[in-house]
Amino acid sequence: MESFEQDLVRALREVVSGSNWQCVGDKEKFRTRCTKLYSESGEDIVLIHPEGDRFYAMDSACPHEGGPLELGDIEDLGKGNLVLSCPWHDFEFSLIDGSSSSGLQNQVYEVKVFDGKVYLKTQSTLSLTPLKTSSLHQSDMPSESTQACSLENTLCSWAAKILCTPDPEEKATLTHQVQELWNSGKITEIGQSEPPAQPSRKAELTVLHPGRIKRGKGGTLASRIALLHSLANIELWAMDLSWDIIVRFATFQLPNGDRLPREFFTDFVKVAGDEAKHYMLLQKRLVELGCFFGALPVHNGLWQSAADTAHDLLARLAIVHMVHEARGLDIQPQTRNRFATQGDEASIKLIEIIYTDEITHVAAGLKWFTYICSKENRDPVSTFHELVPMYFKGYLKPPFNAAGRQSAGMTEEWYLPLVKPAHKEA
């Protein structure tokens, strides 16, 4: 009898093997709603567990642009119609047949639960851990290396991917998605990745020297469009600068050997999210006025400051967040008035939203500049006065928005000593 049972078990195993069913583990292992199963073929699968004994499976890479479906959300569209939505572009896929309202189709797999174990039907061998390991630096092409490491689901890998995303609206959308994943705890690790030499831009964008850009004074519709277009370009670069400071200085060490607090990264994820919001608002306004971003030439002057301070976090905070962004506060009243004279209330509301957010961005730069100086036993104000002349050409120029700067915590002692001294006659 015992021999018969052994033969039966052996026969059943052969049937299971021949039918491509494989056990992926005990049901109790799969407590999370989405689990990535790694395939030896590289075509990984996400195992979806809404509740109880209900399990579903589909390819883990979104058929749109390869987004990681294991990071997506399960939604009930009514009457038990469950879908898994991609975290990148919100495409949703039916758990039953992989169909999508977008017309895309994802591959699904049969799943069964028997005797407390989960079985999945596929020809590929599956594992809960990666079967192949790849380096973050397999290629000199940033987009390829970033796409490979983004599957690690660390903040830095996502930051690098966003920097390598050329389409501005996709860059902004992805920024908001990563911000939500970070804030909700779906991204937990800061990680480490290699930033690109320069953020990607669409090939058809016309880039000129900053001095050749006509920003507009707001006196005509064309002039207002030019001004809004210039602001959109600034916000786009500011978004990239926020992700760059995250990925570039992720391994920065304080004198005692500690890394930067998690709060540092949370603050700059928020800054990135704000800049993405600003860009999208400006783009929407441009469209309302009969234009779009990219219709006019742009410059990359802000990135020069990033390149100059790529080796020094204090310098980056000082120049980008405490000089350039503070200057944005200074010019806000004048910019607002230009739109007010034309009765452009829609643009005025937009400018005011940006202004309120930018105060918090200057405050973030000041906060972490002061924090690092305190850890390095340096006086923050005098250190700021040393760094600005090293990395910023010329003097700081009035008029200053003292109220806006004060709201951000930047009192006059920070910036007035950097103004060009008045000429004294003999």
pLDDT at 4: 56
Q: Measured between alpha carbons, how far apart are the two ends of the chain, in Å?
A: 117
Domains of the chain: 15-127 (2.102.10.10), 142-418 (no CATH)
Strand 108-109 to 45-51 pairing:
unpaired
Angle value at C-alpha 360, between 357 and 365, nearest 5 degrees:
130
pLDDT at 128: 81
pLDDT in tens, 252-304: 999 999 999 999 999 999 999 999 999 999 999 999 999 999 999 888 878 88
pLDDT in tens, 309-346: 999 999 999 999 999 999 999 989 989 998 998 899 99
Global pTM exceeds 0.85: no
Beta-carbon contacts of 376 under 8 Å, excluding residues fewer than 6 positions away, are 254, 255
Most trustworthy range by pLDDT among 78-87, 96-105, 227-236: 227-236
pLDDT in tens, 5-36: 666 556 555 544 556 788 888 888 888 889 98
pLDDT at 416: 96
Q: Which residue has the tokens 């976090």?
A: 313
pLDDT in tens, 42-74: 678 999 998 888 999 999 888 766 677 888 888
- Residue pair 169/280 in contact (Cβ under 8 Å)? The answer is yes
- Whether omega before 399 lies within 30 degrees of 0, making that bond cis, reads yes
